[in-house]
Amino acid sequence: MKTITPTLLVLALAIGAGQALAQDTMQTHTPLRPISECIRPDRINAWHIVDNRTAVVGTGPQYYKVTLQSDCPRLGIGPAGLMFRANESNRAVAQGQICGEVGETVRSRDQPPCAIQSVSKIDKATFKALSKKATRHGSGADQPTTMKP
């Protein structure tokens, strides 16, 4: 009976750790909702690369902070400096909107895509403050006009 108690304790700790990991994983992609609030790449009129994992995007009166899953040091370099790619679902039914869902990426020319961790709406003051820290910037004129598969 004494060997069962330590075994149960270890099992309980393992289950608890697994649940914590699952919760962390689920929290990594909490997309914007409703989908009408997401970034429409065809409406981007300004973008700024704040650091290797953060960009801010303006679409007229709406402003967004885009956080990447890992460092993307060449983002925003060269022509077509910032190109968003929606996941399969949003390309099919949501005009290619970027919501912070699994499978969404952003890239620059001649650079592998960088996975998007999250997208959040920000106010104009926050957009301006983060833009001042930017290392690179551009307009939405460099967004592709057609959604490629």
> Do residues 54 and 99 share a domain?
yes
Q: What is the pLDDT of residue 65?
A: 98
> Do residues 22 and 61 share a domain?
no
In a domain, 149, yes or no: no
How would residue 2 be classed by pLDDT, with cut points 50, 70 and 90?
Answer: low
CA atoms in the 13 A half-sphere facing the CB of 68: 21
Angle (CA) 119 122 123, round 5°: 165
In a domain, 130, yes or no: yes
d(CA 144, CA 106): 12
Segment 64-83, tens digit of pLDDT: 999 999 999 989 887 777 89
Q: What percent of the chain shows pLDDT beyond 70?
A: 74
> Do residues 19 and 63 share a domain?
no
> How much is the mean pLDDT over the chain?
81
Q: Do 71 and 112 meet the contact criterion of CB atoms below 8 Å apart?
A: no
Q: Supply the range of the domain harboring residue 2.
A: 1-28
Which position has the token pair 């106010």?
123
> Do residues 63 and 14 share a domain?
no
Which position has the token pair 């108690």?
5
d(CA 4, CA 112): 51
pTM above 0.95, yes or no: no
Arithmetic mean of pLDDT, 28-55: 91
d(CA 132, CA 126): 10
Higher local confidence (pLDDT), 61 or 26: 61
- Number of structural domains the chain divides into: 2
DSSP 37: G
> Do residues 12 and 63 share a domain?
no
Segment 87-129, tens digit of pLDDT: 998 888 878 899 999 999 999 888 889 999 999 999 999 999 9
Which position has the token pair 């307009």?
139
